[in-house]
Structure 1
Amino acid sequence: MFEPIEALDIYNKNVNILIGSGASADLFPTLGLQIRDAQGNWETIETLSTKYALRPEKNAALFMHYYNTCIHPVQTFTPAAITTPEGLENLQHYEVLLRTLLGFLDRRKDANRKINIFTTNYDGCLAHAADRLLVKGAHEFVVNDGTSGFYKKHLHARNFNTFQCQTGVFERAAYGVPQLNIIHLHGSVYWAKSGDKIEVNYTNDFKKLLTPHVENKISEFSKYLVTKGGVTDEVPLVKLTHNQMEKFWYEYNKLPIVNPTKWKFHETVFEEHYYQMLRLLSYELERPNSILITFGFSFADEHILKLVQRSLSNPKLQTFVCAYSQGGARKMRNEFGAWRNVKVIGPPEGANLNFAHFNKHVLSLSPQTYEPGEAH
């Protein structure tokens, strides 16, 4: 059985959603690799980069692989370009989630009808899903991505405190328009440094950082990382020139995303916004009658883990940590075992808590009972 989160328990509270890379797993690769170390542990971009700290060619090749497989596909993503049934379903799952959240807001009576969606993903899935719902016209709502401006849009933390109200013809009543705040904690491919500001542009006119010649040089290395059965000690060598590595790092460090090995931005303007968003998350979790629901998120970012754990001293905060596997659920119970206001929700025997099950059995206006052997 999947444990549902009761709608009556959360719809009139300060709801915060925290989404990680697991939510986009059928559209974009995660940081996990298919090779193991000598002890049999799975390698990730983070673990390999630590081992390659004193091996500049392999470390550069590793991040070239990361850019090629994880970042560039996100930069060039559009819903029209999805070619797999799994990818189409993945984007539909985002739409279902947003419809559920809007259903909660429809039940809320106060003027401040908003839900915060924090995400460590730098893809545009939430924005695309929200846009598709707006085009369909079935829901009236506002998407607030923290930007202001007209021709050029700039990001600022204070904009998340902006709300829209509608009034009648004679202005005798005000109606708070349902609002979804989309807050990118780890950056977004749609951000760019503009002086001391962050400019947001949802066009995907991106120049690829790697030349075909360099891609060919790392092809064997890259293929080995994602081939099952590989071991760390047998990862192929890569021959890159100093100029090739220097040119790559110069462009890579300008990307508006958190470095997955240090959970830090290279550019100061992005780093400052990161900490402003962490403060916003902390503030929202410290408010009375707050709810935090996490999905697809492993708490690998120590800043976010410690922040959430500190916030749990708020007895009015209820947290639901949704884990993909039973092993992941055990790990989360160990991490949060000291707090009574945390409920870890994992899958039943023989199942995984994927996006479909999350939407159908866990977070829904009318959760359905799980039947063992379901297709998803």
Structure 2
Amino acid sequence: MTELDRRAILGMSAALTGAAALGSTAALATSASPSATAVPAGAIALPARMIEPPRSISEAAQASLRKGAMVPYSPSPPADDVAGWKASIAAHEAGMLKMMNGGDLVLPGFKVEDRIMGGVPVYVVTPPASAPNQGKPHMNIHGGGWTSLGGKLARVFAQVAAQAYGGIVYAVDYRRPPDHPYPAPLDDCLAVYRELVRLHAPESILLAGGSAGSNLAAAMLHKARDTGLPRPGCLFLDTPIVDLRCIGDSLVTNQYLDTLLKVWSKDANVAVYARGADVESPYLSPLLGDLGKGFPPTYLRTGTRDLFLSDTVRFHAALRKAGVEADLYVGEAMPHGGFGSRTPEDEDARQDTLRWLARHWRVAT
């Protein structure tokens, strides 16, 4: 497979992940207008303004931001509208599957197996010899706001993860809301991890997740520790969501600047996932747990326009405070999940991740 082919597949993945992105630049101008009412003490009323992509990034990255800004705002259904959520998820995933030829894609040279581990469907992907980190176990948890990107989509994204970072990928197809809210997704991830540490030395395992998948990965480490399971060798959290109280600064300051998510509200995906459970539990908000036990060396990645920039930098700081080796990558003007994997900035981020993995993801001796 050529480098162009590889980037095309990665780009398709990122573009499809953001197919239901919310918001627009027009909405930014409206929402940022100073209110005619009194400003609360300490608050800052910003004037309406237009924010162009910065010239500090490549033309390809600028084009990605402009394209994302044109996606119209589409609010989620009310949290208690189960039928509305199911319809929205089905429509989103149907469009993605159509673009992926039904989701039956298998990349050239890849081996994909459908397994059941701990009672949970898992896609086991073995990449060709050209992929990095040959033979190392890689447990990967997909994102999608806990509600989307399962089934055949997870099967495709598992191949993308194997292509980008290597290893033998064990991708968890966890149960999802609205039919299966917390703790079902977390329990499924833990069940797979329990089986994985029986197959592989724990210190050789990379645990990785993106977005809501990062939330599940970090929360699962709290639960794994509490149930007596060993920690993995290293952890990779890509644009993680780690505080479901939704109080981070960038959730406000990066509204609509994040061209993938646009807006994030605890009244939407968080409410559908948590379904009334205490969001201050470390099993829902891993930032709020004891990070000094159970967490291995951790690599965190975000961008200056990511809605979850604050979650990521706060988690990085909390890990270091707890004595955990943690490294942080912040991409200039990068929104949630990156620019679509077709830009020099996306490749720089991937290469930095690979350099970190080369130091921390080791074969068990």
Tell me which interval the TM-score lies in, with the shorter structure as reference length.
0.3 to 0.5
TM-score normalised per structure 1: 0.37
TM-score normalised per structure 2: 0.38
Higher share in strand: 1
Question: Is the radius of gyration larger for structure 1 or structure 2?
Answer: 1
